[in-house]
Amino acid sequence: MTQALDEIKIGGLGASRKRVEDDRFIRGKGNYTDDITLPGMLHMEILRSPLAHARIKSIDASKAWDIPGVHLVLTGDMMATRNLAWMPTLSYDTQAVLATDKVRFQGQEVACVIADDPYIAKDACEAIDVDYEPLPVIVNPTQAVADGAPVIRDDKENQAGNVIYHWEVGDAAGTDRAFEQADVISRLQLHYPRSHPSPIECCGSIADFNRATSKLTVYMTTQAPHIIRAAVALVAELPEQMIRIISPDIGGGFGNKVPVYPGYVCSILASILLERPVKWIEDKTGNLISTGFARDVYLDGEMALRRDGKILGVRMGCDADHGAFFSDAQPSKFKLGLIHSAFAAYDIPVAHLMARGIYTNKAPGGVAYRCSFRVTEAMFFQERMVQAAADDLGMDQAEFRRMNFVKDEDFPHRTPLGFLTDSGQYAKCLDVGLKAVGYEDFRKRQEEARARGRLLGLGISTMTEPLGAGNSREYDILGIKMFDSAELKVHMTGKAIVRTGARGQGQGHETTWAQIVAHELGIPAEDIVVEEGDTDTAPFGMGTYASRSTPVAGAAVAMVSRKIRAKARKLAAHLLEVSEEDVEWELGRFYVRSAPDRGVTIQECAMAAYSNMPDGMEPGLENTAYYDPPNLTWPFAVYIVTVEVDPATGVWDVLTTVAVDDCGIRINPMIVEGQIMGGLTEAYAMANMQFITFDAEGNCIGSNYMDYLLPTAWETPGFELHSEVVTPCPHHPIGAKGIGECAAVGGPAAFVNAVIDALTGTGVRNIDMPLLPDRVWEAITYRRDVSGAPPVRSDD
């Protein structure tokens, strides 16, 4: 008789275990960068440019130096003498650390003051006199590529205009032929507006250079500590083994904490020069105007259609406004991230995509805000285009999607823009969603309501999202291949510690990685500690963003557990005095095949690894696994939203939101639901209220929470979640697919589609996000599309 453990009871796969990290978070005992105080610590503040484009004629910092308590004033010229005025970005561009020649966006870093406390440092920043000569400002791609536009990046040799790159994917000629054969051509133009990930905790660092040991320790808000270590080693020319990056608790990242920011570099240099710890903590306005913006892409596409609804081909054009520096991270082969994953859920014979990256006088943008490198823009455009095409054909929204989906039996499927999707049950997920929302019934109610002047709408968004970069063959950042790692040490009493190269920022890794070990080894999850974020202890990894943790680091946790199990099997054979081939495994225990009652637990094997190993066996029970995924994981999701729009005011209320997510095996169903709810909240915010823009002078409108609205529990609608469709990932060791961002990626289109659907009959095809009441009112009243593109220059 065997005695396998109950997996749910030990907190294994499928257990909705409470998040262990919440014990400290909800008690206010988290340890964030700003909580850390080191002996002798100084404080740094940054002087930012008030202008979006101006030549710097002079900087006079003498008054700042004279303020008591000021230890150092850093300017661009001083950085230049150390070859640090510019730094390389994660996308093969350069970025000013402190401005020398020009400022190129409002909020750009111009100088830093290091003082006894942050208040003195801030006052001293205000005492710095900068003489600016204003230059014409460019706030959108149309202005940037116009004849005679000023060249923003005149620091770069051979940079004639403001175009950063021109990138094409797909089959242009084949797509042209598909369009020649089309019965109907559907077209849609839209702007996915600039947004800010806006984590509650801003960015910051504490650099601590110890001259006696030559060791540099930096506590910082980074989602990718090992990449930062490499960057510091290369940029500051410090030996990598003497650099320790510690990423303590992070108060939300959402992609905002992936890039390398000037504040990090300046605090490090200041600590080296002053030989004291230097803390820099950004304020909210600094964060909102200068760090890691996302999106800001102009999308223009066409779909070639057969009268019966078959999609024959797609053309897509994208102009991405990157701001003044191309500094967001993406796999180096793909200039606009994974934008070419658009339409991956549909069986489309041919497609072509043309993308341009463009400099403007705005803060650097394009970070993967809760998305896998630009898939948010891709899926938004896809689902808005699909709705427009179905409308143009007079087809039912659900039927049009179902007809064009990749079918279950057609996997693996090569998309026309080059990805390999490998699994999914798209039609089944759609059926679950339609049933949950009461589709047929809603359509009837919608007709009846319309007859009475009430505007009800239903929006569908269906998408598969590429999550979990690498594989290393195709995915690298600055040449560093995208894989990940896990290290597992089982102590002699059978308790364990697992460390990964990922770095969670609230996703619950400390809970779920332990569940994977519990599933693989039968060690109860509560006996396993998870540690991430310290480069001196964690194995090398590319960090957490783009929902890559479960697909890559999570897989590494499973693989290292299997290595441990393989060694434990040898120990079990030794303890049971049988050959290894005669040993069977069940959760938490090895037993003799012919005598199942004779067995040893994994804990007994652990003790033997330190006290009773067979002759010749290396002692201990620990190992490391590096995991290079064979493919991305492809979760699928259906989001369906119903709304009522008030024609008199343009205000719209959400009636229902249904989410059907198939992310393969769920490690922790409760955490997965939390991820989906968080993503839907952000999707609703993008669609409804989150508005950050720039006026004609490049002033950032939305640099505080009075202007840039985040939904609270009060504004956020309820969500109905469905988990009944499970298609395990065929190549992930435990069948899991990523989930962290799906709802933020696929959700916005469902909300917008619902409002546009409510306006059926008005001729309105598009209102750009956010669908503020005035925009919706304008669309209804004047029966026209409403663009959210930023203004052209005031003198135009």
When the beta carbons of 59 and 736 are compared against ligand CDP, the nearer one is 736
- Enumerate the H helices of 329-438 as residue ranges: 375-393, 397-404, 426-437
Does the annotation count 371 as an active-site position? yes
Candidates 99, 739, 756, 779: give the one binding ligand CDP (CB under 6 A): 739
| Residue range at the interface with ligand CDP (CB under 6 A); choices 91-99, 116-124, 141-149, 738-746 | 738-746
Residue 466 as a binder of ligand CDP (CB under 6 A): the answer is no
Rounded least distance, CB 739 to ligand CDP, Å: 4
Helix (H) or strand (E) holding 405: none
Tokens describing residue 779: 């669309």
Cα angle, residue 131 at apex, residues 125 and 132 outer, rounded to 5°: 110
Number of chain residues interacting with ligand CDP (CB under 6 A): 25
Cα angle, residue 401 at apex, residues 395 and 406 outer, rounded to 5°: 145
When the beta carbons of 98 and 542 are compared against ligand CDP, the nearer one is 542
Residue 257 as a binder of ligand CDP (CB under 6 A): the answer is no
Within positions 546 to 565, which residues make up the interface with ligand CDP, using CB under 6 A? 547-550, 554
Cα angle, residue 342 at apex, residues 340 and 347 outer, rounded to 5°: 115
- Strand-pairing partners, residue 96, are 86
Residue 668 as a binder of ligand CDP (CB under 6 A): the answer is yes
Candidates 120, 557, 575, 672: give the one binding ligand CDP (CB under 6 A): 672
When the beta carbons of 208 and 484 are compared against ligand CDP, the nearer one is 484
Residue 190 as a binder of ligand CDP (CB under 6 A): the answer is no
Residue 508 as a binder of ligand CDP (CB under 6 A): the answer is yes
Backbone angles phi and psi of 178, in degrees to 5? -60, -40
Cα angle, residue 516 at apex, residues 514 and 521 outer, rounded to 5°: 95
> Cα separation of 554 and 470, whole Å?
13
| Residue range at the interface with ligand CDP (CB under 6 A); choices 110-118, 435-443, 661-669, 757-765 | 661-669
Contacts of 452 (CB under 8 A, 6+ apart): none
Question: What does DSSP say about strands 636-645 and 184-195: parallel, antiparallel, or unpaired?
Answer: unpaired
Please state, as a whole number, how many other Cβ atoms lie within 10 Å of the Cβ of residue 462. 29
Residue 376 as a binder of ligand CDP (CB under 6 A): the answer is no
When the beta carbons of 356 and 548 are compared against ligand CDP, the nearer one is 548
Residue 11 as a binder of ligand CDP (CB under 6 A): the answer is no
Does the annotation count 370 as an active-site position? yes
When the beta carbons of 10 and 137 are compared against ligand CDP, the nearer one is 10
Active site residue: 276, 370, 384, 775, which one? 370
Active site residue: 125, 266, 371, 663, which one? 371
Rounded least distance, CB 735 to ligand CDP, Å: 8
Does the annotation count 618 as an active-site position? no
Q: Is 333 exposed, middle or buried (0-12, 13-18, 19+ CB in 10 A)?
A: exposed
Rounded least distance, CB 707 to ligand CDP, Å: 28
> Cα separation of 633 and 411, whole Å?
13
Active site residue: 104, 741, 742, 765, which one? 741
Contacts of 213 (CB under 8 A, 6+ apart): 242
CA dist 93 to 116, 155, 202, 327, 469, Å?
Answer: 35, 11, 24, 7, 22
DSSP assignment of 663-706: -BS-S-HHHHHHHHHHHHHHHHHHHHT---EE-TT--EE--STT
> Cα separation of 368 and 258, whole Å?
9
Residue 509 as a binder of ligand CDP (CB under 6 A): the answer is yes
Backbone angles phi and psi of 450, in degrees to 5? -60, -40
Taking alpha carbons only, the member of 261, 287, 455, 293 closest to residue 360 is: 293
Rounded least distance, CB 501 to ligand CDP, Å: 12
Residue 675 as a binder of ligand CDP (CB under 6 A): the answer is yes
Give residue for tokens 């594989």. Answer: 471
Candidates 459, 740, 746, 748: give the one binding ligand CDP (CB under 6 A): 740
When the beta carbons of 226 and 737 are compared against ligand CDP, the nearer one is 737
Does the annotation count 223 as an active-site position? yes
Residue 500 as a binder of ligand CDP (CB under 6 A): the answer is no
Cα angle, residue 197 at apex, residues 729 and 677 outer, rounded to 5°: 50
Residue 732 as a binder of ligand CDP (CB under 6 A): the answer is no
When the beta carbons of 71 and 548 are compared against ligand CDP, the nearer one is 548
| Residue range at the interface with ligand CDP (CB under 6 A); choices 89-97, 235-243, 569-577, 663-671 | 663-671
DSSP assignment of 445-493: HHHHHHHTT-EEEEEEEEEE--BS---TTT-EETTEE--EEEEEEE-TT
- 258-272 burial: b if 16+ Cβ within 10 Å, else e: bbbbbbbbbbbbbbb
Tokens describing residue 132: 């600016």
Contact 17, 64 (CB under 8 A): no
Residue 143 as a binder of ligand CDP (CB under 6 A): the answer is no
When the beta carbons of 437 and 516 are compared against ligand CDP, the nearer one is 516
Taking alpha carbons only, the member of 512, 554, 559 closest to residue 675 is: 512
Q: Is 334 exposed, middle or buried (0-12, 13-18, 19+ CB in 10 A)?
A: buried
| Residue range at the interface with ligand CDP (CB under 6 A); choices 214-222, 308-316, 608-616, 736-744 | 736-744
When the beta carbons of 572 and 739 are compared against ligand CDP, the nearer one is 739
Tokens describing residue 343: 């339409």
In 324-383, the DSSP E strands lie at 350-359
Across the chain, how many H-helices and E-strands are there? 19, 34
Rounded least distance, CB 514 to ligand CDP, Å: 10
Candidates 417, 555, 671, 752: give the one binding ligand CDP (CB under 6 A): 671
When the beta carbons of 198 and 544 are compared against ligand CDP, the nearer one is 544
Rounded least distance, CB 515 to ligand CDP, Å: 8
Active site residue: 223, 382, 515, 690, which one? 223
Residue 727 as a binder of ligand CDP (CB under 6 A): the answer is no
Rounded least distance, CB 199 to ligand CDP, Å: 13
Residue 541 as a binder of ligand CDP (CB under 6 A): the answer is no
Rounded least distance, CB 683 to ligand CDP, Å: 16
> Cα separation of 476 and 505, whole Å?
22
When the beta carbons of 281 and 530 are compared against ligand CDP, the nearer one is 530
**Nearest residue (beta carbon) to ligand CDP:** 740
Contact 191, 220 (CB under 8 A): no
Candidates 544, 642, 681, 766: give the one binding ligand CDP (CB under 6 A): 544
Residue 258 as a binder of ligand CDP (CB under 6 A): the answer is no
Within positions 511 to 530, which residues make up the interface with ligand CDP, using CB under 6 A? 512
When the beta carbons of 522 and 740 are compared against ligand CDP, the nearer one is 740
Q: Which residues bind ligand CDP (CB under 6 A)?
A: 504, 507-509, 512, 544, 547-550, 554, 663-668, 671-672, 675, 736-740
Tell me the catalytic residues.
223, 370-371, 741
